[in-house]
Chain A
């Protein structure tokens, strides 16, 4: 527990520093920083309405973050979650359009499964290209995301388009019975629960099962994995497919719970924000849950910043960018021995024997 707290300290410090720096930026725009911080908090967690907005955004973020986190545990940097999300949404809407599904929870499950399969296959392609063709997975997954978005636009504006959608090309809306409703009549839909369960399941899988452990070995030390004869390629493909399935599920849930059909609103950048969430959570599925809620909150507060203070709608993107850079830079401080550092600083002042000793220990280490 103490360890977990220590792990969380650096990212938390980096987020605080990012908020401070963001305050400087808005100060240049003529807005008082304290006002922005207060509004960020209010817009994210201030009242029940804000909470609903925050949680609604956190649900897809958890799932797209898993699309980065699970492959990352296998040693891959996958950044194409947006493509899996978009295709997942398209597959779910397409399935509902092509087949007459039972308009009940079984139908909803099928719709979600279609999204997960589509997303899983898409990211598995990136894993396959890496293992069998030697193509860098970071670049290929991003290129695949652009391809997916192009395919999505082509199909939504062409073959799958509902002729009734005039201004905004969309697929046919999902039947009422297939949609995902709110929890207890609120705006927070059951997708939030799905996201949390997925994070929990991924965390337990990586921690408790042999296959999850094997994935971590492959990611942590490929040479050791090879020596003990782990099927690295198969495990990497599995990790990619699971991650992609999570992002695809996010797309299906967005369609079934928020947009009711697949249209351009689905391309909202959740896939890219998921990268940030996963990095801050240090690719730990359980830590993804609170981080996703925090960044869902920032997203929810963004429109409030725009309306109340006249800041550009990209303010939240800027905040995310600053946070990401600082989080990575804070990694450099990770193994700093604070006590030794403190002692070394202290040496210039009244140097006690204890300070000198720990200073020497630092040198030997």
Chain B
């Protein structure tokens, strides 16, 4: 068994990893789900997802989610990797967030200020966190779980995120098992 996959399996089995684990097993849970269902994201959907992602991972001294084209990435993942139910839940989640914004602020999420967006998504993340803790195993994930996970994954696996926010070492050439670290030093990442 490939070494890295083995470590992922262990971590996924024991709760060490949130994203790698679920992504690694994607599809296993619904082995007989339908294929090639809708690809109904529009340009404005991508713009919307870009703003959601940028609110989760804003540009600072390091690139933001928009720099990493996370909105586009989310649509590719949802279209190609999600089963039909997960896709429907994702689309419904987008709609739900926009409606909530209209109710609260009287306008679309796209027209909201960065502060309004952040306030909404912080509340939504709290709702997600509580729901995920109490939900039954077979219940679907909260839709914001997908928004957040895809943002984090899309960012750190993008060229902009990896080279801009981590210490990217594609060819280390050596291994040092006792390497000094101080707070603020970036995570060391590889080609994968």
- A and B assemble together: no
Binding site for A on B (CB under 8 A): none
